């Protein structure tokens, strides 16, 4: 009897760890080198008005996350399988787009991890730092208990990220009152900023990181909806807290009349706010954000192909490792492709309304949804997000293509 009680307690503890792990996996997948740079650059351009953009992006993020995670859970299928049931073959198209976007971003994540180690230990070249980071990520997936190790690794890094960001934000003495006023009365609004921030938080593969993770650990079905809602909102909250703290840190520095280094805007914020130790903190933040994104991108991108063939399911960890190794080798040989990364970000903005729309269609097909009834408010707000994000993404892509070509 005591053994049964211990087993139940162990199962409950494991499930709680997995739920927290899923939230942190999604959040840290969003927080990569692009996240750090974009938030800082847009703060420099919009200053306090970025508070409005962040508030709008958080609302959109929550709507997207609740819709997608609930639909994945109640249908008990991955996104690509759901898409194939809506329109045969569509799942393969979406998977190709997401895997391609995840792969390209992973090259940037590897670069960020290498740079983070170089900042911490200047004697280590960036490429060597990237190789060390890749080895650490690969080690997680070759270990005997990869799932448990990934959860703990992501949780520890995410917690340290929040603490360091809180310290730097405090040191920069930001004009909090001005930021709060700008939430409702911004001086300017940027479509580019909204699309980039939303795309960088729940676009492409990122929103599916936690949803697919929950399936893998058996959290699914209508009975799990309350737990899924909490985990989804927790994931957005974690990413949003870090973004708000970074925004406040950057705003505090910029409001003092400091001109940030255009080649390293995020690093400049840490340096001006907390001196030499602040820049070392930035090195760790950059490394932690990058390597957690490497793990999230590899895990989630691979989850989009593992159901297409039994071999992919059997050797999914091998595919994850190959994903990391190839990304690292490409970075080591050609460096960071900035133009491709910008275009990949725009593609992420387009993937979001497409995949969300497919999910909303799926939840109204009886053959897919079973006896589940999706809340009307989530459907309506989800469709509004599809329309708004599609419109803004098309406008942004038009501007990008005009400037790049």
Which pLDDT belongs to residue 396?
63
Q: Is residue 9 part of a domain?
A: no
Tokens coding 299: 């895990």
What's the domain range around 92? 17-404
Q: Is residue 294 part of a domain?
A: yes
Instruction: In whole angstroms, give the CA distance from residue 393 to residue 353.
Output: 9
Sign for the pseudo-dihedral over CA of 314, 316, 319, 321: negative
Residue-wise DSSP of 251-310: HHHHTTTPPPPTTSHHHHHHHHHHHHHHHHHHHHHHHHHHHHHHHHHHHHHHHTTTTS-H
Which pLDDT belongs to residue 339?
46
Which pLDDT belongs to residue 4?
43
Torsion angle (degrees, nearest 10) of CA 261, 266, 270, 275: -20
Q: Is residue 246 part of a domain?
A: yes
Split into its structural domains, the chain has a count of 1
Which pLDDT belongs to residue 399?
61
Which pLDDT belongs to residue 405?
42
List, in order, residues 6 or more apart from 288 with CB less than 8 Å away.
116, 157, 160, 161
CATH (domain of 358): 1.20.1740.10
Q: Is residue 379 part of a domain?
A: yes
Per-residue pLDDT of the chain (405 residues; tens, 9 = 90+): 544 444 455 556 666 666 777 777 777 777 777 777 878 888 888 888 999 988 988 888 889 889 998 998 888 888 888 888 888 898 888 888 888 877 877 888 888 888 889 999 999 988 889 899 999 888 888 877 777 777 788 888 888 888 888 888 888 888 889 999 988 888 888 877 887 777 777 777 777 877 888 887 777 888 888 888 888 888 888 888 888 888 898 888 888 888 888 777 888 888 888 888 888 988 888 888 888 888 888 888 888 888 777 887 787 888 888 888 888 888 777 655 444 445 555 566 677 888 889 889 888 887 776 677 889 999 999 999 888 888 877 776 666 555 444
Q: Is residue 2 part of a domain?
A: no
Torsion angle (degrees, nearest 10) of CA 200, 183, 174, 188: 80
Q: How many CB atoms lie within 10 A of CB 387?
A: 11
Which pLDDT belongs to residue 343?
52
Tokens coding 273: 């706010």
Which pLDDT belongs to residue 52?
92
């Amino acid at each position: 009897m005591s053994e049964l009680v211990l087993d139940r307690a162990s199962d409950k503890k494991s499930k709680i760890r997995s739920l927290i792990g899923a939230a942190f996996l999604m959040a840290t997948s969003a927080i990569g080198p692009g996240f750090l740079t974009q938030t800082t650059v847009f703060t420099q351009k919009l200053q306090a008005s970025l508070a409005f953009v962040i508030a709008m992006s958080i609302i959109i993020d929550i709507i997207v996350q609740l819709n997608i995670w609930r639909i994945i859970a109640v249908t008990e299928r991955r996104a690509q399988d759901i898409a194939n049931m809506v329109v045969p073959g569509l799942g393969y198209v979406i998977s190709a787009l997401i895997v391609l976007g995840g792969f390209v971003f992973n090259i940037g994540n590897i670069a960020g991890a290498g740079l983070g180690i170089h900042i911490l230990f200047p004697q280590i070249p960036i490429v060597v730092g990237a190789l060390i980071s890749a080895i650490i990520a690969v080690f997680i997936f070759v270990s005997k208990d990869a799932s448990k190790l990934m959860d703990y690794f992501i949780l520890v890094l995410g917690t340290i990220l929040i603490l360091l960001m809180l310290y730097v934000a405090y040191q920069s003495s930001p004009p909090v009152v001005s930021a709060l006023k700008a939430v409702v009365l911004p001086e300017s609004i940027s479509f580019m900023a909204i699309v980039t921030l939303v795309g960088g938080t729940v676009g492409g593969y990122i929103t599916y990181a936690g949803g697919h993770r929950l399936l893998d650990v058996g959290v699914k079905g209508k009975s799990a909806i309350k737990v899924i809602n909490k985990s989804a909102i927790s994931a957005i909250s974690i990413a949003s807290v870090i973004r708000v703290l970074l925004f406040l840190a950057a705003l505090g520095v910029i409001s003092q009349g400091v001109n940030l280094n255009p080649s390293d805007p995020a690093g400049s914020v840490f340096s001006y706010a907390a001196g030499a130790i602040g820049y070392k903190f930035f090195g760790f933040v950059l490394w932690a954000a990058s390597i957690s994104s490497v793990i999230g991108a590899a895990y989630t991108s691979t989850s989009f192909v593992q159901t297409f063939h039994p071999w992919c399911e059997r050797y999914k960890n091998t595919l994850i490792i190959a994903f990391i190794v190839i990304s690292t080798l490409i970075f080591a040989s050609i460096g960071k492709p900035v133009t491709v990364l910008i275009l990949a970000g725009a593609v992420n903005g387009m993937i979001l309304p497409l995949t969300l729309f497919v999910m909303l269609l799926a939840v109204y097909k009886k053959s897919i949804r079973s006896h589940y009834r999706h809340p009307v408010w989530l459907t309506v707000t989800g469709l509004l997000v599809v329309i708004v994000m599609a419109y803004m993404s098309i406008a942004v892509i038009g501007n990008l293509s005009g400037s790049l070509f």
